[in-house]
């Protein structure tokens, strides 16, 4: 492919500028899509959880994954696996909602395993999320309603 025709950001890095649907699937250029989450936003843990929960509740787990990924990449080293695991739960839900049952189940279980060792930091319901991911991974058989299946990240949200 001709590099001059690739979508690039201001720094010249490849970025797909195609619009996306609520589950993050690329749409044809010129098609209205869901507004993308800005990348590299540094939020407090509370802001991250609130924004991710809002997106999960709206049936947009791909976008929630992007918010959680920012926390994973910018947070303290000791918490990176927690945020990475939460991002994997969101992208696992994304795949399950798209109908990729095997990939969705695998990511849900991987995310659950990754967060299992954390003692509920920031009021994150680690045990509840782990149980939710395991239960969903065991029963997902086809595309599902991501908003209806959205987990509660904390007891406060």
pLDDT digits (tens, 9 = 90+) for 32-84: 888 877 788 899 999 999 999 999 999 999 999 999 999 999 999 999 999 99
Give the pLDDT score at 30.
86
Q: When comparing pLDDT for 18 and 130, which is higher?
A: 130
Query: DSSP character for 142?
Result: S
Backbone angles phi, psi at 8, to 5 degrees: -130, 150
Q: Are 137 and 109 in contact (CB under 8 A)?
A: yes
> How much is the mean pLDDT over the chain?
89
First to last CA, the chain: 45
Mean per-residue pLDDT for 146-157? 92
Q: What is the pTM of this model?
A: 0.85
Domain 45-149 has CATH 2.60.40: no
In sequence order, the 6+-apart residues with CB closer than 8 A to the CB of 46 are 122
| Domain range list for the chain | 1-36, 45-149
Question: Could you tell me how far CA 7 lies from the centroid of its own chain?
Answer: 23
Note the pLDDT tens digit of each residue in 92-106. Answer: 999 999 999 999 999
């Amino acid at each position: 492919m001709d590099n001059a025709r690739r979508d690039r950001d201001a720094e010249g890095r490849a970025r797909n500028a195609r619009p996306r649907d609520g589950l993050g699937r690329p749409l044809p250029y010129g098609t209205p899509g869901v507004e993308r989450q800005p990348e590299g936003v540094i939020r407090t843990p509370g802001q991250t959880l609130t924004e991710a929960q809002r997106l999960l509740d709206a049936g947009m787990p791909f976008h929630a994954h992007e918010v959680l990924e920012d926390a994973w990449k910018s947070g303290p080293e000791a918490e990176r696996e927690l945020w990475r695991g939460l991002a994997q739960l969101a992208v696992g839900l994304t795949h399950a909602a798209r109908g990729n049952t095997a990939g969705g189940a695998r990511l849900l279980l991987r995310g659950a395993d990754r967060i299992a060792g954390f003692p509920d930091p920031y009021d994150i319901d680690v045990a509840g999320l782990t149980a939710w991911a395991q239960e969903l991974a065991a029963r997902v058989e086809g595309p599902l309603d991501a908003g209806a299946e959205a987990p509660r990240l904390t007891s406060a949200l």
